[in-house]
Amino acid sequence: MNTKTIIVANRLPIEFKISSNTIEIKPSVGGLATGLNTVHKQGKSLWVGWSGLAEEQLNDVHKEKIRELASQAKCVTVSLKEKEIEEFYFGFSNKALWPLFHYFLEFTTYEPEQWETYVKVNEQYADAVLQHAADGDKIWIHDYQLLLLPKMLRDRRPSLSIGFFLHIPFPAFEIFRTCPWREELLQGMLGADLIGFHTYDYVQHFLNSVRRILGLTVKFNEIMQHNRTIKADSFPMGIDYNNFYNTAQLHKHRNNREVSEIMSKLNEHIINYPDSKLILSIDRMDYTKGIPNRIRAFEYFLEKYPQYLGKVRLMMLAVPSRSNVPQYRKLKKDTDELVGRINGKFATIDWTPIWYFYRSMPFDDLIDLYSFSQIALITPLRDGMNLVAKEFIATRTKSDGVLILSEMAGAASEMHEALLINPNNADQFAAALHQALEMSPEEQKTRILALQKRLSRYTVDKWALDFIKSLNETCQTTTEHSISKLLDKLIMNKMLTEFKTAKNKLFLLDYDGTLVNFRGNPENASPDIGLYDLLDNINKNTNTEIVIISGRGRDSIEKWFGHKNYTLITDHGIWIRRKDKEWLQLEDPKTEWKEIIRPIMESFVDRTPGAFVEEKKYSLAWHYRKADPDMAEIRMRELKILLTGFVSENGLSVLDGSMVLEVKNNIVNKGRAVLNLISGTQADFIFAAGDDHTDEFMFEVMPNNAYTVKIGRSESIALYYVNDIADIRSLLANFELKQISSASQ
């Protein structure tokens, strides 16, 4: 199949500039654009993102030109108005999400209006993607500005393969839970098939939030949502290693004429101070990067080790960033003052401790800065990955130099040979600088070579290809396991036609997880008015029988549906009450075993706050939906092992349901009950829907012409699936008498 990959990011890999009333274009700098180049350039691909210019700035000629240039670069632009840029980008993205995800709660502000614009702009991205996406296309979404996009796409086009990658940290649950829109953000991300992070820790934080906030089941790194499986994994982003290494090599052999301005300055420095060492730091001017901390720690170092006065220089490049956001403006002011104060404090006639540049530089100058410095001081307070650390290592063509790296950068989890420090510990900071300055060339070489070996292997190309490969595998596994097909419009129409001509119609509907959502306490999952209306309206069709078939005990089903003219099957198939008839017991399983199992389950309740035992007439269920997910997981495993030994010898089985372990008699299942029912009816239209493995018994015994529907996309023998409860309900609405009659008019 000729499918394509659509990359979606806030920005495009090209930058547009209005210049003398025409539009100019240049490639964007930065890791993401380079990193995705391989995916974007090879094969069929499209990149969707904002042009970088506000709609108000553009006239029709500009717009047309942008469209044309973008299309030549295989890009599609999302157009944003000034207000949207302010509220979506500078607002919710950078005043709420950015500080929250980097643990800067004190900078996090939540404005409902900004949130609304964030939702709206994500919708605009969804519109742009869907205009160009065909069935089977792969969509790769990037970063915190687009957290809601995966779900928006999934809802509107379920067949897409969707990958999402977060470039910043995912914070610990205790931090993330403070966000007023935490559920929406998680649900948004879960629209993807594969969710990637830089490190294993971020994956764990994310999974933890998913379990605790959404109450979903997580098995290893897979999340079960309405039986859809979503995978979360770590993909540490690399760099274009050869580009950095080779350019650094080339610069070594340049003659003087080609030497850049910065390099001439650096050359002067080495002539004037042959023994002094350059310490480099490069970051965007961002409070997460720990710039003031670094300057203060450098001051502390100079005080503690005065022998280095005049012998070292901190060369600090801070690239302007988000200067519309107040904290960034304050940071710039604080940094200027700090640099001024420290330079004033230590400077001599011919030496200043800090060279400070507040601007961005061309790539070639960057390479000179990297290769000319002996030490890189990369000490963010929090950083998703940090590519600068990797780029510094790649330019060490002479295998010398030392990297001092903050433990709080994602890169630290794979760059063990760097000197890792806690950026808040000034003593450790100073000691590491001292160690770096005194490190023998042999030790430098050993460390650099080990780091280079890893970086040259896991490059940014490899990262991108690995992610895409994993996305393909994730989607393939889901498709292979789930034989079910999405129940689309075509099948819906076919079903309706058959329904209209059928003489006897039967609807077999599971209750929890199919018609209503799970609740913490099963008693609270009573039917809503909308559900009653829906079922009643279907039931009004002639010769139509509605069967509620549930694992629940007879009491609750009778309480909720006893007054309705439906057939009820309860306790996994022990009891049946046909339409207009009395309750009839289909099976009479033994229950003495409950006296043994109950105390075991109760002892596990005592040790697991939030868990409880549900006593059903013929089964016992240990629920743990409300318990702490980590603890519940451990206890559930222990309990399952204990129960398994007992049940196999006693004709019982343990059902591992959605946040519940249920022990019941082996001979009882929905399949037997349904078989009993359909053998006595002449139904020529059968529709059966269910969400978990207890419903598989029902699907198993269905005749070939029945429509079997699974809620959620996961392994099942049902012929079709729908995504969730909302979908099955709107599908069932097509069978309401009023719909049927109006359609036939």
Q: How far is the CB of 174 from ligand GDG (least distance, A)?
A: 21
Q: What's the min distance (Å) between Cβ of 14 and ligand GDG?
A: 15
- Candidates 602, 642, 643; CA nearest to 623 is 602
Q: Is 363 in the site for ligand GDG (CB under 6 A)?
A: yes
Render 603-668 in DSSP notation, one character per residue: HHHHTSTT-EEEE-SSEEEEE-TTS-HHHHHHHHHHHHHHHHHHHHTTTEEEEEETTEEEEEETT-
CB 577 within 8 Å of CB 584: yes
CB 80 within 8 A of CB 121: yes
Q: Is 583 in the site for ligand GDG (CB under 6 A)?
A: no
263-282: which residues touch ligand GDG (CB under 6 A)?
A: 282
Q: Does 360 bind ligand GDG (CB under 6 A)?
A: yes
Residue 403 interacting with ligand GDG (CB under 6 A): no
- 309 is a site residue for ligand GDG (CB under 6 A): no
Residue 192: CB atoms within 10 A of its CB come to 27
Stretch that binds ligand GDG, among 79-87, 226-234, 272-280, 359-367 (CB under 6 A): 359-367
Q: Provide the mask over 432-461, with x wherever binding to ligand GDG is found by CB under 6 A and - wherever it is not.
A: ------------------------------
For β-strands 485-486 and 505-509, DSSP reports them as unpaired
Number of residues that bind ligand GDG (CB under 6 A): 20
- Closest to ligand GDG by CB, 238 vs 553, is 238
Answer for which of 192, 216, 375, 388 binds ligand GDG (CB under 6 A) is: 388
| Distance of closest approach, residue 289 Cβ to ligand GDG, in angstroms | 8
Q: How is residue 97 written in tokens? A: 């999400």
Residue 386 vs residues 73, 285, 287: alpha-carbon distances, Å = 28, 14, 14
334 is catalytic: no
Tokens standing for residue 23: 């539009």
Minimum CB distance to ligand GDG smaller for 394 or for 702: 394
**Nearby residues of 471 by Cβ (< 8 Å), 6 or more positions away:** 138, 140, 161, 163, 193, 194
Pick from 9, 14, 387, 487 the residue near ligand GDG by CB under 6 A: 387
Going by their DSSP bridges, the two strands 402-406 and 419-421 should be labelled as parallel
Beta carbon nearer to ligand GDG, 37 or 360: 360
Distance of CA 148 to the CA centre of its chain: 10
Measured from the CB of residue 232, what is the shortest distance to ligand GDG in angstroms?
Answer: 17
Are 213 and 248 in contact by the 8 Å Cβ rule? The answer is: no
φ and ψ at 615, to 5 degrees?
A: -90, 115
**Minimum distance between the CB of residue 407 and ligand GDG, rounded to whole angstroms?**
14
Residues forming a β-bridge with 26: 15
Q: How far is the CB of 286 from ligand GDG (least distance, A)?
A: 6
Q: Name which position in 4, 67, 277, 284 contacts ligand GDG (CB under 6 A).
A: 284
Candidate segments 214-222, 357-365, 393-401, 545-553, binder of ligand GDG by CB under 6 A: 357-365
At 640, list the tokens: 């399952």
CB half-sphere exposure, 696, CA atoms < 13 A: 12
Among the listed residues 283, 383, 461, 510, the single catalytic one is 510
Rounded-to-integer distance, Cα 245 and Cα 237, Å: 17
Is 33 an interacting residue with respect to ligand GDG (CB under 6 A)?
A: no
Chain-centre distance for alpha carbon 146: 10
* Span interacting with ligand GDG, options 222-230, 360-368, 498-506, 611-619, rule CB under 6 A: 360-368
Shortest distance, CB of residue 373 to ligand GDG, whole angstroms?
14
The helix/strand/coil state of 354 is: strand
DSSP 425: -
Member of 119, 214, 319, 675 binding ligand GDG (CB under 6 A):
319
**What phi, psi does 406 have (nearest 5°)?**
-70, 140
Candidates 162, 237, 280, 471; binder of ligand GDG (CB under 6 A) is: 237
Residue 366 as a binder of ligand GDG (CB under 6 A): the answer is yes
Kindly indicate which of the ranges 17-25, 386-394, 417-425, 712-720 contains the residues binding ligand GDG, using the contact rule CB under 6 A. Answer: 386-394
Q: ∠ at Cα 364 (361, 369), nearest 5°?
A: 70
Binding to ligand GDG by residue 30, rule CB under 6 A?
yes
Among 18, 25, 29, 502, binds ligand GDG (CB under 6 A): 29
Q: Could you say whether residue 415 binds ligand GDG (CB under 6 A)?
A: no
* In the complex, minimum distance from the CB of residue 285 to ligand GDG, in angstroms, rounded to a whole number: 10
Per-residue contact string for residues 148-187; x = within reach of ligand GDG by CB under 6 A: -------------------xx-------------------
Q: Does 291 bind ligand GDG (CB under 6 A)?
A: no
Q: Kindly tell me which residue out of 293, 386, 482, 716 binds ligand GDG, with binding defined by CB under 6 A.
A: 386
Own/partner pairs, 733-741, CB within 8 angstroms, 24+ separation: 733/534, 734/492, 734/496, 735/496, 735/499, 735/507, 735/538, 735/541, 735/687, 736/534, 736/537, 736/538, 736/540, 737/537, 737/538, 737/540, 737/541, 738/537, 740/496, 740/499, 740/500, 740/541
Catalytic positions: 510
Residues that bind ligand GDG (CB under 6 A): 29-31, 167-168, 237, 282, 284, 319, 360-361, 363, 366, 383-388, 391
